[in-house]
């Protein structure tokens, strides 16, 4: 800023009015302080004075927004909810996103909001959010979904990574209609390898997390270390070991007692997404006829 101010107001105005500010965009550029005080208000007045009509002030600042968001989440009314459940690697997220492509505005992707896959390896290659950003994304998505006749979600624990799901959303998730997704082991291995090893960043981050998972697993003393399996390129073998000795037992324990309204093979993601939508259509008709 000191470099902008030094040549004078005219030069500073010209520097600020780069194409970024002038480019057409339907949304305003919002500025705020903690309480919407003098500093943010002064910046907005200045930018408007030099022609940036998109500059606007968040009334009451970030504190007022957080209060409003908290009220929104506390009072959210869920439509009928359908929950995709299944063992790690069956492609729940893939199917959820395929459903959104087929039926826009029908899904709530909590893992996308959190930047996390909701497991010990869930942050690999991703950018986990703060709790505040998670809540902000969640609130924004729920506003987009207002009026939706139903909602499809992926089964989660009370937290996505370390981000706590809002109480009303968690209640809707816990009481939704459960659909069990399944796939052969070779398909699960393929989905997981594609997901975690797709980027250079993911490939670099994975080894450091494998030690954390291995510390929680019960393995033979002479078993090869997971990180060594990864280093020699035994990726499929590694994934099967993780599934059989860690993820599958953990998931089966957490899902005890759950009832499933349908069971769908996810070997064909697009086909599975369509089957979910077909089930929902039948279930919605049944609900209408019963009311």
Which of 72, 98, 121 is the last residue in one of the domains?
Answer: 72
- 119 and 8 part of one domain: no
pLDDT of residue 60: 82
- 197 and 237 part of one domain: yes
| Sign of the Cα pseudo-torsion (171, 172, 173, 177, in order) | positive
Distance from the Cα of residue 192 to its chain's centroid:
17
pLDDT of residue 166: 97
- 261 and 183 part of one domain: yes
Residues 6+ apart with CB under 8 A from 154: 83, 84, 85, 92, 93, 96, 109, 110, 111
pLDDT of residue 11: 56
pLDDT of residue 7: 55
- 202 and 67 part of one domain: no
In this structure, are strands 29-31 and 55-57 parallel, antiparallel, or unpaired?
A: parallel
pLDDT of residue 68: 92
- 68 and 83 part of one domain: no
Which of 51, 72, 93 is the last residue in one of the domains?
Answer: 72
- 52 and 179 part of one domain: no
pLDDT of residue 22: 55
For the chain, the C-alpha Rg in angstroms (whole number) is 24
Tally the C-alpha atoms within 13 A of residue 242's C-alpha that lie toward its C-beta: 27
- 154 and 65 part of one domain: no
- 6 and 34 part of one domain: yes
User: Roughly how many angstroms between the first and final C-alpha of the chain, as a whole number?
Assistant: 64
Residues 6+ apart with CB under 8 A from 138: 73, 110, 113, 165, 166, 169
Range of the domain at 179: 79-290
- 40 and 150 part of one domain: no
Residues 6+ apart with CB under 8 A from 244: none
Give the number of other Cβ atoms within 10 Å of residue 135's Cβ.
Answer: 21
Cα(33)–Cα(6) distance, rounded to whole angstroms? 25
Contacts for 268-277 with beta carbons within 8 Å, 24 or more apart?
Answer: 269/91, 269/94, 269/95, 269/98, 270/98, 272/91, 272/95, 272/98, 272/181, 273/95, 273/98, 273/99, 273/101, 273/102, 274/102, 276/82, 276/84, 276/95, 276/99, 276/152, 276/179, 277/99, 277/102, 277/103
- 49 and 113 part of one domain: no
Cα(86)–Cα(262) distance, rounded to whole angstroms? 12
Cα(163)–Cα(166) distance, rounded to whole angstroms? 9
- For residue 102, the domain's CATH number is 3.40.50
Query: Nearest CA to 143 among 65, 30, 61?
Result: 65
- Along the 291 residues of the chain, how does pLDDT read in single tens digits? 455 445 555 555 555 555 545 555 667 888 888 776 777 778 877 777 777 778 888 788 888 889 999 999 999 999 999 999 999 999 999 999 999 999 999 999 999 999 999 988 999 999 999 999 999 999 999 999 999 999 999 999 999 999 999 999 999 999 999 999 999 999 999 999 999 998 999 999 999 999 999 999 888 888 999 999 999 999 999 999 999 999 999 999 988 889 999 999 999 999 999 999 999 999 999 988 987
Kindly report the pTM of this predicted structure: 0.84
- 128 and 271 part of one domain: yes
> What domain count does the chain have?
2
Which of 72, 103, 126 is the last residue in one of the domains?
Answer: 72
- 221 and 110 part of one domain: yes
């Amino acid at each position: 800023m000191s470099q902008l101010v030094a040549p004078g107001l005219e030069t500073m105005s010209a520097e600020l009015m780069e194409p970024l500010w002038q480019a057409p965009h339907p949304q305003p550029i919002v500025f705020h302080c903690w309480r919407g005080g003098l500093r943010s208000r002064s910046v907005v007045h200045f930018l408007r004075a030099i022609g940036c009509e998109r500059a606007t002030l968040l009334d009451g600042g970030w504190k007022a927004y957080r209060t409003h968001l908290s009220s929104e989440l506390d009072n959210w009314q869920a439509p009928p909810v359908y929950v995709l459940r299944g063992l790690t690697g069956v492609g729940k997220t893939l199917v959820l996103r395929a459903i959104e492509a087929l039926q826009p505005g029908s899904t709530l992707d909590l893992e996308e909001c959190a930047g996390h896959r909701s497991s010990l390896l869930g942050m690999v290659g991703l950018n986990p959010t703060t709790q505040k950003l998670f809540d902000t994304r969640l609130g924004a998505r729920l506003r987009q979904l207002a009026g939706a006749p139903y909602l499809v979600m992926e089964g989660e624990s009370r937290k996505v990574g370390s981000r706590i799901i809002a109480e009303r959303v968690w209640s809707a998730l816990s009481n939704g209609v459960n659909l069990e997704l399944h796939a052969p082991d070779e398909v699960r291995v393929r989905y997981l390898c594609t997901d975690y090893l797709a980027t250079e960043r993911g490939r670099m981050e994975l080894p450091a997390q494998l030690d954390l998972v291995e510390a929680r697993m019960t393995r033979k003393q002479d078993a090869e270390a997971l990180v060594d399996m990864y280093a020699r390129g035994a990726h499929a073998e590694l994934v099967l070991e993780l599934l059989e000795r860690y993820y599958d037992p953990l998931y089966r324990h957490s899902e005890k007692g759950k009832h499933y309204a349908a069971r769908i093979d996810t070997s064909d993601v697009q086909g599975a997404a369509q089957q979910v939508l077909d089930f929902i259509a039948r279930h919605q008709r049944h609900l209408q006829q019963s009311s």
